[in-house]
Amino acid sequence: MTTAEHLDLLDERRARHPLAVKGLSKSYGEGSTAVRVLEDLDVRVEPNEIVCIVGPSGVGKTTLLRCLAGLLAPTTGAVMFGPTTMTGPILEVGVVFQDYSRSLLPWMRTRENVSFPLQGKGMRKAARRALADQCLNAVGLPDAGRKYPWQLSGGMQQRAAIARALAYQSEVLLMDEPFASVDAQTRFDLEDLVLHLRKRLGISVVVVTHDIDEAVYLADRVVVLSGHPAHVVDVVEVPFGQDRDQIQTKAEPAFTEARARILGRIRR
């Protein structure tokens, strides 16, 4: 396979299907001791959209994301990818975990980490390698393939985790508090990387975060969860389009407005 073909592989990753939860509720435990975490949620992620899920700590954001990923089965309701009901993890939905330092395997070089899920799909070694290199390029890590994850900084490790999700040919990226443990500057860079990848590859992205500024900066729509059990208390449309800038966008009145509205919702 030539490099050009792989470029196509990466570019043709346009999201075609919406990812949605319909009437989703999730309880932990059984019988009288069951704890209801999520109550009757309806959230829809359109193709090529970025949706952020915010809410107070412990509200169940991660639970929702795990349901979207097919890692947790909903108690009632359904997770739909396009017209089909998800019963487990699927190829089209890739996950970037919060704890990148553990989800990257320390005994594999970064390139192997990125290409490892492709081995499970039966892709040949040369093709895996080429695709992994390309995805590492796409996230701005052209030289990290031969290094081990623990030789990379936190921000670079998270980039590698994103590359792994891209290599898996996901149209939808699910990110759980992806930038919670990197410094502010790295965080801005990674946020811009997500915006860039969305634009370039046409993928959809779901980001769970506790950082309202981050949510407004990234999202086309911010879904606000609150209460016990958690339900959707607000959906805030963010009108900035695909091109955003850390300084200008954050200075817009609409940014401040959205931010204040979400904060008010969470505080209440």
Judged by the rule CB under 8 A, the positions of this chain that interact with other proteins are 57, 69-71, 89, 91, 94-95, 97-99, 101-103, 105-108, 116-117, 119-121, 148, 150-151, 154, 164, 168, 177, 180-181, 210
Instruction: Specify the residue, 135 or 238, whose C-beta has the smaller distance to other proteins.
Output: 135
Instruction: Specify the residue, 150 or 241, whose C-beta has the smaller distance to other proteins.
Output: 150
Instruction: Specify the residue, 28 or 243, whose C-beta has the smaller distance to other proteins.
Output: 28
Minimum distance, C-beta of residue 89 to other proteins, in the bound complex (Å): 5
Contact between 28 and 75 under an 8 Å Cβ cutoff? The reply is no
Minimum distance, C-beta of residue 119 to other proteins, in the bound complex (Å): 6
Minimum distance, C-beta of residue 94 to other proteins, in the bound complex (Å): 7
How far is Cα of residue 261 from the mean position of the Cα atoms in its chain? 23
Minimum distance, C-beta of residue 251 to other proteins, in the bound complex (Å): 26
The phi, psi pair for 132, rounded to 5°, reads -60, -45
Q: How many Å apart are CA 177 and CA 197, to the nearest integer?
A: 18
Minimum distance, C-beta of residue 167 to other proteins, in the bound complex (Å): 10
Minimum distance, C-beta of residue 209 to other proteins, in the bound complex (Å): 11
Pairing of strands 19-28, 76-81: antiparallel
Instruction: Specify the residue, 113 or 238, whose C-beta has the smaller distance to other proteins.
Output: 113
Instruction: Specify the residue, 168 or 217, whose C-beta has the smaller distance to other proteins.
Output: 168
Instruction: Specify the residue, 75 or 103, whose C-beta has the smaller distance to other proteins.
Output: 103
Using CB atoms within 10 Å of the CB of residue 1, give its burial: 0 to 12 exposed, 13 to 18 middle, 19+ buried: exposed
